[in-house]
A = this chain, B = another copy of it.
């Protein structure tokens, strides 16, 4: 049944991303996913629970994938490249889910909102670790925690703003974006050389690792109910 859940979350995200949370009904979702209302209720009881499932799947998939991938790289710069690759590639393939996830937890039941905030915080902390390690390795003297958090969020800004402007035809591929974000974040646009890291090798290694990243379809439920 897990293929069922994945497909339902994907199609539901697409519809909700277009019509908005309040502009979508359970009936619309049933029609879009070609299920009966009763069939859909097997997966979630309300739009609020759907929102929770989309967020859980996204953040669980990314944190689980990162736990595996992070261990494959040793240098802070390589880890940074890998993080950018994972985040940007995953969301370029799940743009509607991403759109829905940026709405936050406002519409969610309090206990579920808390689960999502915890997942999100863990994921943010992974990024923060990568940035802090890079700054430490570069011998930066001023390890101001607030500044490292600001820089971590600037990195997310570059990555998360992509859907509001990027078209492959006009602006190039997702792979070029990953490289640009990595390079800009590491050494800015003013230096021509970024040869310290072998991007060609890194990119092909990440392509291999990314091939194993599949959306997670089982996770502990906030209310103990299993859904798969």
Interface residues, chain A, CB within 8 Å of chain B?
20, 22-23, 102, 131, 134-135, 138-142, 146-147, 149-151, 153-154, 156-162, 164-166, 170-172, 176-177, 180-181, 183-192
Is B189's CB under 8 angstroms from A186's CB?
Answer: yes
A202 to chain B, nearest CB (A): 16
At the interface, is chain A mostly helix, strand, loop or mixed?
Answer: helix
From A147, which residue of chain B is reached at the shortest CB distance? B180
> For the complex formed by this chain, how many copies does it contain in all?
2
Known: A172-B147, A185-B184. A190 touches B153 (CB 8 A): no
Considering the complex, give the chain B residue whose CB is closest to the CB of A177: B150
13 further A-B pairs in the complex, CB-CB below 8 A; given A160-B161, A187-B188:
A135-B190, A138-B189, A138-B190, A139-B192, A140-B190, A150-B172, A150-B176, A150-B177, A156-B161, A157-B157, A157-B160, A185-B188, A187-B191
**What are 25 A-B pairs with beta-carbon distances under 8 A?**
A134-B189, A135-B189, A138-B191, A141-B192, A147-B172, A147-B176, A149-B171, A150-B180, A151-B184, A153-B161, A153-B162, A153-B171, A154-B184, A156-B161, A156-B165, A157-B160, A157-B161, A157-B162, A158-B161, A184-B184, A184-B185, A185-B188, A187-B187, A187-B188, A188-B191
Residues in B with CB closer than 8 Å to A176 are: 146-147, 150
In whole angstroms, what is the CA distance A48 to B176 when docked? 37
Q: How far is the CA of A159 from the CA of B164 in the complex (A)?
A: 13
B-chain residues with CB within 8 Å of residue A189 when the two chains form the complex: 131, 134-135, 138, 140, 151, 185-186
Among A131, A181, A184, A187, max chain B CB count under 10 A is at: A184
